[in-house]
Amino acid sequence: MNKILIADDNKYSREMLVRYFEMNDFEAISAVNGKEAILKEELMRPDLVVLDIQMPEMNGLEACKIIREKRRGVDYVPIIFLSGLITKEIVIEGLESGADDYMKKPFEPLELLTRVNNLIKTKDFILQVDLLENTMFALVKSIETRDFYTAGHSRRVSQISVSIGKELGFSEKEIEILKKSSLLHDIGKIGISDKILNKPCELTKEEVKFMREHPVKGEEICKVLRLDPKVHDIILYHHEKLDGKGYPYGLKGNEIGKLIRIVTVADMYDALTTNRPYRTAKSNSEAISILIEEAEEGKLDITIIDTLVLCKSASRLMKADIRNN
């Protein structure tokens, strides 16, 4: 039985809503103001919250902000505003506070019930997808556990990518895309055997061909997630090069977006500075030099490499020192 929390300072409205939802197989909980709604929401963990806007002690807008801040991700709870005070400004403020829907009093009970049921279905779907997404990130850890030499690789690539993105002034949404995509960029390696992952010498042509399938496999795995399309692009294209000699599709130039270019550079930098079965880690300066050479050959974006240097260097003179040597 789904639980619903109803906060309304009008006793008649509150009791009428409680009776109506109980008649429709809900467990209904009531509160007389926003402050009490927050306390009961925390205690009862309802499946949906209905808030009046004008209430004493704390209004519905303030209560919505607090509840939404507490209940995100797998804890997500739908919130509906139900009030006689519904103006364009109130609707905008309510949605910005985290509400999912709104209805004006007087209302049609069947319409309210339909909206409530639809939002609860959406909540259940979001819960399933978020749990699946968390499972994906757990799988990333499992890959790193299997491959001693790349343990922590995805997390480091994520940290580097985010640092570059922030230095370049990307938006919060773009930073989140960088964070998620870089954590998941090697998820396709799940299907690669330990024998290949940990081979102590260079791979054969056949093994290289098999390894190079991981971006496509990774993107296929992530199709079931509620991810931004740009996240999928980064997972799929992070081994592409500006000169068209990357893989899996040989994209070139402007076909490769800035976010993809960032993860490509971050991925290469961490790979170069980490011990691998067939070679020891290179120094920071050696790795940057290799990246610059690839940029001069038209493979990488030099502005991304310059930004990486700024992010990784304790002294911003390192870039000049490397280019002078």
Within 8 A by CB and 6+ apart from 81, the residues are: 51, 52, 53, 60, 64, 90, 94, 99, 101, 102, 103
Q: Residue 95: its pLDDT value, please?
A: 80
**Fold match, 3-126 / 147-324:** no
Give pLDDT tens digits for 67-123: 988 876 557 889 999 887 777 777 788 788 888 888 888 888 898 899 898 888 877
Q: Residue 321: its pLDDT value, please?
A: 46
- Greatest mean pLDDT among 67-71, 224-228, 269-273 lies in 269-273
pLDDT at residue 40 is higher than 80: yes
Percent of the chain predicted with pLDDT > 70: 87
C-alpha to C-alpha distance for 258 and 265, rounded to whole angstroms: 11
Would you call 213 helix, strand, or coil by DSSP? coil
C-alpha to C-alpha distance for 293 and 305, rounded to whole angstroms: 11
More confident residue, 205 or 256: 256
C-alpha to C-alpha distance for 25 and 154, rounded to whole angstroms: 46
Q: 0.75 cut: is pTM over it?
A: no
Within 8 A by CB and 6+ apart from 221, the residues are: 136, 187, 188, 190
Residue 295, both tokens: 């940029």
Strand order in the sheet with 48-51: 27-31, 3-7, 48-51, 79-83, 101-104
User: What are all long-range contacts of 172-176, with beta carbons under 8 Å and residues at least 24 apart?
Assistant: 173/228, 174/259
Question: Rounded to whole angstroms, what are the CA distances from 124 to 2, 4, 138, 242?
Answer: 11, 14, 21, 42
Sign of CA dihedral 22, 26, 28, 33: negative
Within 8 A by CB and 6+ apart from 255, the residues are: 240
The DSSP code for 281 is P
pLDDT at residue 5 is higher than 70: yes
Lowest mean per-residue pLDDT among 10-14, 196-200, 317-321: 317-321
Q: Residue 201: its pLDDT value, please?
A: 81
C-alpha to C-alpha distance for 103 and 81, rounded to whole angstroms: 6
Quickly state the pLDDT bin for 280 (edges 50, 70, 90).
Answer: confident
Which candidate, 65, 2, 4, 84, places its Cα nearest to that of 40?
4
Domain range summary for the chain, segments of one domain joined by +: 3-126, 147-324
Would you call 49 helix, strand, or coil by DSSP? strand
C-alpha to C-alpha distance for 101 and 133, rounded to whole angstroms: 26
Give pLDDT tens digits for 99-114: 888 888 888 889 889 9
Domain spanning 147-324: which CATH class is it, in words?
mainly alpha
pLDDT at residue 259 is higher than 90: yes
**DSSP-assigned letters across all residues of 221-265:** HGGGS---HHHHHHHHHTT--TBS--SSS--BGGGS-HHHHHHHH
More confident residue, 319 or 171: 171
Fold of 3-126: Rossmann fold (3.40.50)
Query: If you search the block for the tokens 């004006």, which residue do you land on?
Result: 104
Q: Residue 316: its pLDDT value, please?
A: 44
Nearest-10 crossing angle of helices 284-296, 258-272 = 140
Lowest mean per-residue pLDDT among 71-75, 187-191, 224-228, 232-236: 71-75
Lowest mean per-residue pLDDT among 47-61, 118-132, 182-196: 118-132
Lowest mean per-residue pLDDT among 16-30, 188-202, 239-253: 188-202
Which candidate, 7, 31, 27, places its Cα nearest to that of 19?
27
C-alpha to C-alpha distance for 225 and 64, rounded to whole angstroms: 27
Give pLDDT tens digits for 150-200: 668 888 999 999 999 999 999 999 999 999 899 889 988 887 777 787 787
pLDDT at residue 12 is higher than 50: yes
3-state secondary structure 63-97: HHHHHHHHCCHHHCCCEEEEECCCCHHHHHHHHHH
